[in-house]
Structure 1
């Protein structure tokens, strides 16, 4: 067997836990070098620079059906694990694209945090319903609190001491940005664990390391992709082998048409599973997005949701659907659900409604850092 990460199905738990060296300072002290800061800022600048699209511009996207499929996957996760009256923490909330999903779940309180200033501003205007390109004019039913900062750097339990605990923590298509160093990965998971109530759930989506490494090894060189995406590894990985003792900082460049163009990091899922257990969380499930679609499309309510979102057309006049290349991109990702250990208990959020606002001004956005 080749040395490196398993190429087994994403739904398996992977090989025995790697004996990687833990950073004992990872939880109590965040150690970040200038290179890591530069990459974090590059990611933030990339997403800040992306402008909100009108409905017409969105529909013209070369990956519109992939975007709709991703929305369906996130909607299914939220419908399965969010409940009426929940308090929600949305890590790397971006431009607030999931706000309507949370509103439909009838949550009672929402906190969103993102590193990109531009994204948080777009999230604020989307929540308020102020921007012309936002189709929604109906007010959201839950109060919200928005923060701008790096949730993989800043210790959030002190910042959100009056808001916690949360019933649900969500991190969609963003957790892999924490995997540039062990300290950042640990800070991310320590924040989740500290803020999630016992019995609460952590839901998320991120790249599937097994699939990416498999495709890399099948490629002739260090680049692979199709008409809508490409992934390129540096010459450091020319042998296409990865030391089990160094599972952090495995960087690649990811380009996805009309969506992403920045550095990302491999998250070996067996290492991720091992790490979350240190932070008092346990795996409920992990499924590659292909398997996720096949499983939940067996349920009538989610078939109807897929029809309404239009990832596969509406089944009537609209016969458009995912292209083969978009479906290949979906295969690059997985969905996961974790549970915080302990006896479940309901969080009383009514007393915290005054922590958030029903209309958020620029002055209401909290900026946080380690400085």
Structure 2
């Protein structure tokens, strides 16, 4: 099969020439790595994303998967618009370079805490928050922020964020499956979310759709499949040095749901990206957002649109929403945004065991 043109990787395997899936994927369980090996794997992920450079607007628009990226941004925007409320306190796990900051700003949230394992990414997130990027913002963000460099699948965040909690909404986009390399990491990820969300709080996210991926694997000969813009390999060593050397794990969603329930997180919604697009594109406010983002063209002068291969990649993902059990408090906790700042320096970034 043809490989797609070389492009920068992102937090989704759709953007990489090749991905490897660990033992936890095909068998419906967790991977069997030991602790030291797992730390090494997490460090490779961190080093990989730290090494990625910020792109200019022109570079992003020239990406061969630009429409797929815009579609992903539309889905994340819809999730945030559906479940975030003005004044909400936000916990953004695996926040990366802060690509969703503008989405949270448009939702008029009151406080933002971003956590990422990659030091380079968290520093880029700080730069973006401060407005010091090539794409200079017209105005400052309306909410104070705090940034933490930590492995949120290893560290106990509730101990460090005790004075910041509870949060109204937590987000983890295209990254939660990294926690499923071991049962301990999967549990710590959900324990952090549950401990930091208020009763009635919402956990939104996106991850690979295990049902679709395993179905595709069963339909193909061998242990690999893909198209011109993505490639997935199960359990084989990389043959090319330019592949993204970050093993990933398929998360069987029924197991994810059962494990989440142990941490008082109840399933509200799960939809494959294709189903998600078909449903929410019917709503005028979201169809207008799609037009503005341009994933399907703007319906006017710009007739460019998502390619069939990019649409096939979208089918490999799902969106989910979980709710923490319990009744929401009668009034919002005051002052939990006091630790945030409206301008951040590197000295403001907290480093937890990374």
User: Hey, what does 1:50 align to over in structure 2?
Assistant: 52
**Alpha carbons of 1:60 and 1:40: their partners in 2 closer, same or farther (altered >3 Å)?**
same
1:110 alignment partner, one of 112, 130, 141 = 112
Structure 1 residue 349 displacement after superposition: 5.2
Structure 1 distance, partners of 2:245, 2:289, is 30
Give the distance between the partners of 1:293 and 1:20, measured in 2 at CA: 29
Do the aligned partners of residues 361 and 317 (structure 1) sit closer, same or farther apart at CA in structure 2, a change above 3 Å counting? Answer: same
Residue 270 (structure 1) shift? 0.4
Give the conservation status (yes or no) of the 8 Å contact 2:267–2:323: yes
Matched residue of 1:283: which SS?
A: strand
Moved beyond 2 Å, runs of 4+:
18-21, 259-262, 345-350
Give the number of aligned pairs.
325
Query: Secondary structure at 1:167's aligned position in 2?
Result: strand
Residues in 2 aligned to 1:347 and 1:147: alpha-carbon distance in whole angstroms: 27
Change (3 A) 1:320 1:230: same
Q: Does 1:336 align with 2:338?
A: no
Task: Determine whether 1:140 maps to 2:158.
Answer: no
1:136–1:347 distance in 2 versus 1, CA, 3 Å: farther
Query: In structure 2, what is the equivalent of residue 313 of structure 1?
Result: 297
1:271 aligned to 2:271? Answer: no
- Residue 137 of structure 1 deviates from its aligned partner by 3.5
More deviation, 161-170/259-268: 259-268
5 Å-filtered alignment, 1:182-201, equals 182-201=183-202
Partner Cα distance (1:347, 1:355) in 2: 20
2:248 aligned counterpart, secondary structure: strand
Residue 287 of structure 1 is matched in structure 2 by 271
Secondary structure of residue in 2 paired with 1:74 = helix
1:228 match: 229
User: Aligned partners of 2:248 and 2:45: how far apart in 1?
Assistant: 9
Q: Relative to structure 1, is the Cα distance of residues 101 and 56 closer, same or farther in structure 2, using a 3 angstrom cutoff?
A: same
Give the Å deviation of 1:219: 1.1
Aligned to 2:207: 206
Unaligned runs of 5+ in 2: 1-26
Structure 1 vs Structure 2 CA RMSD: 2.2
Structure 1 partner of 2:20: none
Q: What is the rounded CA distance, in whole Å, between the counterparts of 2:290 and 2:343 in structure 1?
A: 31
Q: Gapped runs of 5+ residues in structure 1?
A: 1-17, 22-30, 236-251
1: CA distance, partners of 2:80 / 2:137:
20
